[in-house]
Structure 1
Amino acid sequence: MQPFLLPKGTARQQGFAELAAQGPITRLTLFTGVPVVLVTGYAEVRALLAHPEVVRSMMEGPHRDFLTEEQVRWTDRHMLLMNPPDHTRLRKLVTAAFTRRRIDELEPRIREIAAELLDKIEAAGDGADLVQLFSYPLPITVICELVGVPVEHRESFRQWSSVAVNAPMHTPDEYIEASGQIVAMIQELIAVKSKEPADDLLSALVAVREGGDRLSAEELTSMIFLLMSAGHETTVNLITNGTYALLEHPEQLALLRAEPDRLPAAVEETLRYDGPLQVTVPYFVQAPIDIAGERLEPGEVLVFALLPANRDDRKVDRPDEFDITRPDSAHLAFGHGIHHCLGAPLARLEGRVALEMLFDRFPNLRLAEPDGEPDRPPGFLLNGIQTLPLNIT
């Protein structure tokens, strides 16, 4: 079984492309030493994510061998690690609180936050780092306000969540410390919201009931842990990757400036061309499955490679071109099936507002280092850019 080392930068896309060229399904060993079935084909990813014999497991969280049962209960009782019927029940409860109306009502506040951050970019002048000054603080402020995290806790949360999301890149002790701090903060917030509910998502989740059912303390804590840890990192990448793609393709940016109604399409093309995730979290085969000439056996670990799936030339014409005029920019950046990302509407809203306001505010925006390639952060899950210096004058 061939070893798979983590590619970096443009080599990341190239590495996945070389694997995809061997076929839509490849058996290999990850850099962590775990043997997996890597699925790179669009049709195969979509089919398997919706397959009833492809499931998640609560026993495969980060650093599981080092965690106590109690630590696991407070972080992993959420729907991303659940299968039906537990997943169905949890998603129904969370959806009742995390409504489309609640998301749409956030747009004026997202615009206010974005405007304040763009002021800071203008004050910083040429060479300002988009990630530090805009892409990161925008979604983390939104998710913290949505949940109700006090301002004084947000910088600490930012540091802890970075460790939690990139757990395999950190030691067990670092993960245990960070996740424990997040859980303690969430539990403190739940206690406050239970006594003094406010107009925020956490208060709504505390109160939500469906047919007499409600989230348990462990489920509520785990769900907020998931939303807060994973609910902003991907949007950071969407904003940064979208900005980079448009600046790297000036003809597309000129078209977008001339026809701003294409902005939603630009967001979707960013999600397809350079999405915020490299792969999904692991899934497991629980019964034999025949697909693409392969037999998947019970117990095998499945990892769905979203980057190559979204550039599958069997699905997309000119897959390696960034083109906001595509009539069909179908992608799997938010997954598929029962685990399709619940926060996708919020991510799309933040991405649309961020790109619109950024390019409107700075008509001369360009890369400060046009001849270099930005650094991609280490890790096997997220696909982002660590820093993106921009010139605004």
Structure 2
Amino acid sequence: VGVAMRELPAFPFPADHALQPSPLLARARDGRAPIRVRLPYGATAWLVTRYEDARHVLGSPAFGRDPERAGIPEADIARTTPVEITVRTLLSTDPPDHTRLRRFVFRAFTPRRVEGLRAGAERVADRLVDAMVAAGPPADLFETFGLTLPIEVICDLLGVPAADRARFTAWTDALLSTTGKTAEQAAASIDAMNGYLAEQAGRRTRHPTDDLIGALVRERVEGDRLSPAEMVNLLRALLAAGHETTASQIPNFVYLLLRDGGYRRLADEPGLVPTAVEELLRYVPLITQGSLTRFVLEEVELGGVTLRRGDQVLVELAAANRDGTVFPDPEVLEIARGDNPHLAFGFGPHRCLGAALARMELQVALSTLTRRLPGLRLAVPSDEVPWDDDRFVRRPRRLPVTW
């Protein structure tokens, strides 16, 4: 078995550039059937690359996120990270339990509630640009703007004190590292974050608040429908996912816009920002390992291949989002692209709960930067921008800019 496993292609596939999907993904998609791959940790998995197949896996009850339902031990989950970062969170449950947990936080992320946060996000973005301008060029856009904007917004939503916010960046870095941290370091970060959030929840039990942590505490105390462990795990997933992906996408987006000329166009045509955000969401291969692993719960045929209970499946969103049967000229970044049914936020019951929040923050980021700094440009040649290569999500290590 060991020899057979070594003969399988290793995943993630190597790419020539961090923001350009590996050509092996297109080759796999053109084969029109899932292929078997081996991952750095855990077991082997089927890799799904076609748009139609991706939507089926993400939306069908034949595929789940709870490994126990498929009889898979936690250590055997196919993954690129030393530990499975979503175990015992909202992201690792299936309906009906997933539906119950999701309901507790859905109200915080409705489009109307998120739109109410836009003015505050715009104030944060303007303040960050003010600080950049005051310090003068060059600047690291990732550190001074991209990282700070989403963490301030999500921490305001949850009610995390400003003085504690830097700690979450370090904890999340350890959780999402694919090679730079050990399993013990990642587990220690989970424990530290859990302890901190439990402490914050305890304070709200004694002194109620109107933030999201306070709202979840009320659900637990008054409704007795949310266990203390469930509440802490929910908060940890929201806090990590609520800032990490957007903090990575802001510099990813700006890099591509500056490299390919779209930034100047947005400065001249600000009404294109929402459309540009959708196209960049489609175009950027954010996750390094496809989507979160799905587990086959009942025998099913997919792309002419029979998948059996206990098999594991990775949906490669970057490949699905460049499927030419759905997106004309899929390799072209067209910021005025019209119909754009991309899968950047997933699909089905696990579709990203914070999609509206992420869209709003990305729109605010691009609108503010192009309005305040229309002459922004890279401070180094585009091929000299350094990239993090040991993370669950793709992003530059630094994004040097000037104006």
- TM-score, structure 1 length as denominator? 0.90
Task: Name the aligned partner's letter for residue 171 of structure 1.
Answer: T
Residues 75 and 30 from structure 1, CA distance in 2 versus in 1: closer, same or farther, beyond 3 angstroms?
closer
Q: Secondary structure at the match of 2:37?
A: strand
CA distance in 1, matches of 2:86, 2:375: 45
CA distance in 1, matches of 2:296, 2:75: 21
Pick which of 131-140 and 74-83 moved more. Answer: 74-83
State the partner residue of 2:31.
22
CA distance in 2, matches of 1:124, 1:8: 36
Q: List aligned pairs for 1:251-262, cutoff 5 A.
A: 252-262=262-272
Pick which of 110-119 and 205-214 moved more. Answer: 205-214
CA distance in 1, matches of 2:73, 2:203: 29
Q: List aligned pairs for 1:1-393, cutoff 5 A.
A: 1-4=8-11, 6-8=13-15, 10=17, 13-15=21-23, 16-32=25-41, 34-57=43-66, 76-166=87-177, 169-208=180-219, 212=223, 214-250=225-261, 252-278=262-288, 279-379=290-390, 381-392=392-403
Pick which of 335-344 and 117-126 moved more. Answer: 117-126
| Aligned-residue identity in percent | 36
State the partner residue of 2:81.
none
CA distance in 1, matches of 2:75, 2:145: 32
Task: Name the aligned partner's letter for residue 342 of structure 1.
Answer: L
- How far the C-alpha of 1:213 sits from its partner, in A, is 5.6
Q: Secondary structure at the match of 1:224?
A: helix
- How far the C-alpha of 1:193 sits from its partner, in A, is 1.4
Residues 391 and 63 from structure 1, CA distance in 2 versus in 1: closer, same or farther, beyond 3 angstroms?
farther
CA distance in 2, matches of 1:211, 1:127: 52
Residues 98 and 61 from structure 1, CA distance in 2 versus in 1: closer, same or farther, beyond 3 angstroms?
farther
CA distance in 2, matches of 1:62, 1:378: 25
State the partner residue of 2:4.
none
Structure 1 unmatched ranges of 5 or more: 66-71
Cα pair 2:107 2:113 within 8 Å, conserved: no
Residues 97 and 266 from structure 1, CA distance in 2 versus in 1: closer, same or farther, beyond 3 angstroms?
closer
- How far the C-alpha of 1:119 sits from its partner, in A, is 1.9
- How far the C-alpha of 1:308 sits from its partner, in A, is 1.1
Residues 345 and 196 from structure 1, CA distance in 2 versus in 1: closer, same or farther, beyond 3 angstroms?
same
Task: Name the aligned partner's letter for residue 301 of structure 2.
Answer: D
Residues 197 and 75 from structure 1, CA distance in 2 versus in 1: closer, same or farther, beyond 3 angstroms?
farther
Q: Secondary structure at the match of 2:334?
A: coil
Cα pair 1:186 1:224 within 8 Å, conserved: yes
Residues 309 and 49 from structure 1, CA distance in 2 versus in 1: closer, same or farther, beyond 3 angstroms?
same
Aligned length: 385
Aligned-pair RMSD on alpha carbons?
A: 2.6
Residues 101 and 364 from structure 1, CA distance in 2 versus in 1: closer, same or farther, beyond 3 angstroms?
same
Structure 2 unmatched ranges of 5 or more: 1-7, 78-83
Residues 62 and 111 from structure 1, CA distance in 2 versus in 1: closer, same or farther, beyond 3 angstroms?
farther
